[in-house]
Chains A and B, each alone.
Chain A
Amino acid sequence: MQRSKPYIKQIIQWCAAVAASLFIMNLLSFAFYDPCQELIRTQGSTTGFLLPGSKGVYGLEGYCIANIDENGYVNRDLPRASSYYVVAGASHTEGLFLPLKLRYSDRLNAMLGPDNELRVYNIGRSGNFFSVVLQHLDGILGEFPDAKGIIIETDTLTYDTKALYDSMSQTGYDPDETASEMYSALSGRQKFSMQVKQYLPLVRELHKQYLTYLNMSEEAAPSDILNPDFWAQEYAGGYTDALDSLMSFIRSKTDKQIIILYHPAISLEPDGSMKLLTNGAEPYYKEICAKYNIDFVDMSDAYMKAYDEHHTVPYGFSNTTMGAGHTNRDAHRMIAEELYKVIEK
């Protein structure tokens, strides 16, 4: 009995140490990585939204403390102006890598008037790429019927003929699938579970790390998405018809101003130059968008000019690498300036 006492003491100490260290490291996680909880929906302007009224910390790439508004989108808590633009897109638009005021939507907002209301309303959501946004067009128009215009962001034009046609298939709009409705519809248990998760960022961080560890050995296949032969065949086939149909379809949905914002990915070459990673579809988009009175904002020239004159790259952060990843503050500034020119015109 006497001999077992030290062991029991050690076991108790180890349990206490594990609990204390989990608590300490969880506190640390609040400052490093504490993402917001997501609610998924099937019909609406996006595939989902974040827990309304919550805040999240994102420090893995860039650094940002995100503010989630009452509708579940990442915006400052300001009233929406009577005349406003809706900005839709994926993670670049959502901008969970930059302080809120530095995102292009917020910069544009400040350019368009006093920065005390939202003239540009951001509904960016991670994973809502160009084709996904287009599939939610009915949702956007339904959820924001009074919007003055819609800005749709994309970092690639690599949508082939089939993808362009698929983009027209609409998910529809269900007025009950708003953040407040969906959150109130959650059961008490679900709400409790979300709250608990919100207070345990360490668990989510460790889970994310575990998934990364599992995928570590799987080598990513080299991307063939920009294969010139493939795109030459596409352009020689029914590509332009598909693009024409898509733009015609978009225009048929609304007579509001529509802006397609395109900001291509880049690569830094060994000789020190910057290369735009494109499939060469820009001229088709420009021509067909103009035909349907849709503004096509191409950031290619602005990006190249900024690099040639100031060695400014549009992607990357000081805690990741340059030329890859998400749009940084310089790119957001350039995008806001280009969008402002189009809107002012």
Chain B
Amino acid sequence: MSFLSVQFMILITVLIILLKFIHDKYAERILLLAASYLFYACFDLRMLAVLIGLSVFTWFGGKMMILSKTAGNVKASKAICLACIAIQTAVLLFFKFSGLLPMPVGLSFYMLQAISFLADNYSEKLQKYPSFIDSLIYIGFFPQIVSGPIVKAKDFIPQLDNRKELTKERLSYGVQLFALGAFMKLVMADRLAVSVDSVYSAPCAYSGLSLFITSVGYSLQLLFDFAGYSNMAISAAWLLGYDLGKNFNLPYLASDPSDFWKRWHISLSSWLRDYVYIPLGGSRKGKFRTYLNIFLTMLISGLWHGSTINFIIWGSLHGLWQVIHRAVRDIGMSSASNKKAEGHNTLPLRFRHFASIIVNFIIVDFLWIPFRTETLSDTWMIVSRIIMLKPGISYYYVYTFIFAAILIIVQLFAVYRNNGDNPLKPLPLNTLHGKVIFCCFIISIAMFAYFGNGAFIYAQF
């Protein structure tokens, strides 16, 4: 059941209506859980058993952990927590790498939530240990189960007691966010996929410049696909009364790698920060350990995305890049303060910022190449053809330029009007002009949607 299917529209509408009339918290929870499992069962009924099994295991594991802690046995509690996380990770690795069984839909995402459940309860970030049904809902919540956003237990579970009623304003924002997501997916991402898929199926045939333009097309496709999906997931949860937070914030406006990861797949970045980087020691154990921790975190991020060497290379290169940037920044900060003291003029700040955005984007763009290709030799072949400006078919896909221009305009607004944050605000649907723009937007989705490539890229992870 895709977000863009009629079945999903019916499911979410029925659920919203029922939740409007149900005021009993327990009945609300039962309804949410039933809807979540129905949604998941539509993908694969057999894999529902994995989801339920993992949720039950997590709750009982957590319960044992808490009981040990309450009894004053902190060591045992920690051991149980680590053992449970190890088992959860082993299950994920088994499905991801063994290839013996098909990978359950969304396992990579809900497994991270299950780990978050244990970690947040262990570190007592939740006021009380959640009920059994709350933990089932948290791990299996249908709007985000397929591809996130990965919500932390401490952020989501308390919302189950304080579900927001659907007001006119909430409805307006939710519907518009969903429409924006649908536009990003159907009109932008899927149309870009046409060009990207065809070029990547025979990259040797294309010129270096064409391959570079296509790599930009893929960078845009990935953004619009995943951010579009995230918008739809966030809006579905929003309409039901829950806030899943933000998952993207104009990532190609980032001026450095750490800024990029604060804007791209924010929920995964913050999960990795809280449950991998900080437990490894973060930046508290000296420079070398900081660099090592950054590198390891990014390597784990690569492994989480996939088992092929390409993902490991992708994660490692991102890690390496972050480490280099951090090291340069550490050195640069001391030299800059020296220069400042000596009265040296540096380049205008705005120009430097603009140049760093371009450089950052080009590096991210090149790093998406191993992410998209299937083998390392393909990656190398494409990169070398781009760098050597090899001759070949000249193919400059019009929509890559159109969508890049749209993104640049939005980013310029973000820089000049909103301190670099997403400047898009909901339309005032209580006014006539707001309604007209919204209707035009909906018609434009129907007009320009490219039907034929419905799968979301991140669903495969």
Contact = CB atoms under 8 A, between A and B. Distances in A.
Q: Do A and B bind each other?
A: yes
Interface of A: 10, 13-14, 16-18, 20-22, 24-25, 28-29, 32, 202, 205-206, 209, 212-213, 216, 268-274, 311-313, 316, 318-324
A323 B395 CA distance: 11
6 contacts: A17-B432, A18-B439, A209-B451, A270-B202, A319-B399, A321-B195
B451 A212 contact: yes
B205 interface: yes
B396 A13 contact: no
Given A209-B449, A319-B399, 8 more contacts: A21-B442, A32-B447, A272-B202, A274-B205, A318-B398, A319-B398, A321-B198, A323-B198
Interface in B26-77: none
B194 interface: yes
Contacts of A14: 435
Contacts of B194: 320-321
A24 B435 CA distance: 13
B204 A17 contact: no
B384 interface: no
Interface stretch (B90-98, B226-234, B344-352, B386-394): B386-394
Given A213-B451, A272-B392, A13 B446 contact: no
B279 interface: no
Contact of B436 (A21, A205, A212, A268): A21
Nearest to A24: B440
Contacts of B207: 311
Contacts of B162: none
Nearest to A270: B202
Contacts of A16: 432, 435-436
B444 interface: yes
B332 interface: no
B439 A271 contact: no
Contacts of A270: 201-204
B447 A209 contact: yes
Interface string B365-384: 00000000000000000000
Interface of B: 194-195, 198-199, 201-207, 391-399, 430, 432, 435-436, 438-440, 442-444, 446-447, 449, 451-452, 454
Nearest to B207: A311
Nearest to A324: B198
A268 B202 CA distance: 6
Contacts of A312: 393
Nearest to B392: A311
B7 to A, nearest CB: 12
B435 A22 contact: no
Contacts of B398: 318-319
A15 to B, nearest CB: 10
Contacts of A18: 439
Contacts of B198: 321-324
Contacts of A24: 436, 440
A192 B170 CA distance: 46
Nearest to B196: A321
Given A14-B435, A322-B393, A29 B447 contact: yes
Contact of B391 (A311, A318, A320): A311
Which of B199, B205, B442: most chain A CB closer than 10 A? B205
A272 B205 contact: yes
B221 to A, nearest CB: 14
A28 B443 CA distance: 11
Contact of A318 (B397, B438, B439, B444): B397
Given A213-B451, A322-B395, A21 B443 contact: yes
A138 B442 CA distance: 49
Contacts of B432: 13, 16-17
Contacts of A25: 440, 443-444, 447
Contacts of B391: 311
Contacts of A271: 204
A318 B396 contact: yes
A77 to B, nearest CB: 30
A209 B450 CA distance: 9
B237 to A, nearest CB: 26
B361 to A, nearest CB: 23
Given A21-B436, A21-B443, A22-B443, A311 B393 contact: yes
A288 to B, nearest CB: 35
A17 B435 contact: yes
Contacts of A274: 205
Nearest to B391: A311
B4 to A, nearest CB: 10
A313 B395 CA distance: 10
A202 B201 CA distance: 34
Contact of A202 (B205, B430, B447): B447
Contacts of B393: 268, 311-313, 322
A320 B452 CA distance: 14
Given A17-B436, A21-B439, A270-B201, A209 B446 contact: yes
Contacts of B201: 268, 270
B451 A20 contact: no
Nearest to B454: A216
Nearest to B402: A319
A151 to B, nearest CB: 28
A318 B214 CA distance: 12
A260 B446 CA distance: 41
A20 B202 contact: no
Contacts of A321: 194-195, 198-199
